[in-house]
Structure 1
Amino acid sequence: MSALPALDDVDALGTLFTSTVPERYRDLNGHVNVRGHYDLHMDGAEHAFEKLLGIDQAFLDRTGHSSFSVAHHVQFHHEIMVGHEVSVHLRVLGRGPKTVHAVTVLANRTTGEIASTLEFVEAYVDLTTRRAVAIADEVAERLDALLEQHRELPWSLPPSHQLGTSRPPSPEQP
């Protein structure tokens, strides 16, 4: 397992948004529940796809393309409490012709710790056919620029199990 990066390292990715954790995320244990972590990660991912990749409503209307989630894996590292200030950051890990592999990082600004990470794979889709298609050139260019920047970072995050942009060959395949 990789050691978690410092907040200064994560800040180099840029901040998708910051928020004060609302009361609705408190669970019976007195900390932020799984839904709260997940909601914050998903808000960050939506910001990333809209602001960094340009996949927003105007793009959808113009191209008929969007993305569908294929896999998500959340890892919890440190607690968050209601009232803490948090930020969400995106790191692109890889991409295939039709898929994106990335991770959002939920940072607890109040405690200075990485609270959780959400590693995910998204498929780029044509909404007419509801099938994966090649990522549009304009999105691929933005993705590739981010991927190049993120590959140069001197730190990593603990990987999830077997998420990635393609399936490993089955034992029956040569």
Structure 2
Amino acid sequence: METDATYRGTVYPWQCDHVGHMNIMWYVGKFDEANWNLFARLGLTPSYLRGSGRGMAAVQQNITYKRELLAGDIVEVRSRLVEIRDKSIRFMHEMRNAESGKIAATCEFVGVHMDRQARKSAPFAPAIRDAAEKHLEPELA
């Protein structure tokens, strides 16, 4: 997949908890922003989602916290698509302290392609599936 980050930002003091590190709710938020940038690379752009009546729903999310992030730290998330199925995708995010390069957290998501009107899962359009298959990076054995 492209080497560009799917998210870049900064940890602000108001995102830190009583222990002094970024609170878990902000990790989730930054990973969510990375989701939308990853989706756009696959063709799941806001205009596609609005125009097609489709959406994406997270059905599973597993976060591993490895190192603290502190106020002022610059954060970068890089993402990779691990699996695509008829109606779902599985992908990984890796959040790093951009200065040190050390991994702060990882997150694995499973997202389901939805028909917003029917309120149920729907197959990906062929163009989306083709784009996703070009970006597929299966897990290392």
- Give the aligned residue type for 1:17: Y
- Give the aligned residue type for 2:135: L
Alignment correspondent of 1:66: 55
* Contact 2:6 2:78 (8 Å CA) reproduced: yes
Shift of 1:96: 1.1
- Give the aligned residue type for 2:73: H
Q: Does 1:40 align with 2:30?
A: yes
Aligned-pair identity in percent equals 21
Please point out which of 10, 17, 24 is paired with 2:14. 24
Q: Which has the higher strand share?
A: 2
- Give the aligned residue type for 2:68: E
* Contact 2:7 2:30 (8 Å CA) reproduced: no
Unaligned runs of 5+ in 2: none
RMSD (Å), alpha carbons: 1.9
Alignment correspondent of 1:4: none
How many positions carry a matched residue from both structures? 141
- Cα deviation per residue 1:4-49 (whole Å; 9 max; x = unaligned)? xxxxxxx974311311211221111111110111111111111211
Shift of 1:135: 0.9
Say which SS state the counterpart of residue 32 (structure 1) adopts. Answer: coil
Unaligned runs of 5+ in 1: 1-10, 157-174
Aligned equivalents of 2:46 and 2:26: distance in 1? 25
Aligned equivalents of 2:101 and 2:13: distance in 1? 20
The structure whose Rg is larger is 1
* Contact 1:94 1:101 (8 Å CA) reproduced: yes
Alignment correspondent of 1:139: 128
- When normalised by structure 2's length, the TM-score is 0.91
Q: Does 1:120 align with 2:109?
A: yes
Shift of 1:54: 2.2
More moved, 13-22 vs 82-91: 13-22
User: Is the alpha carbon distance of 1:12 and 1:66 closer, same or farther for their aligned partners in structure 2, counting shifts above 3 Å?
Assistant: closer
- Cα deviation per residue 1:43-97 (whole Å; 9 max; x = unaligned)? 11112112x1222221123211121111111110111111011111111111111
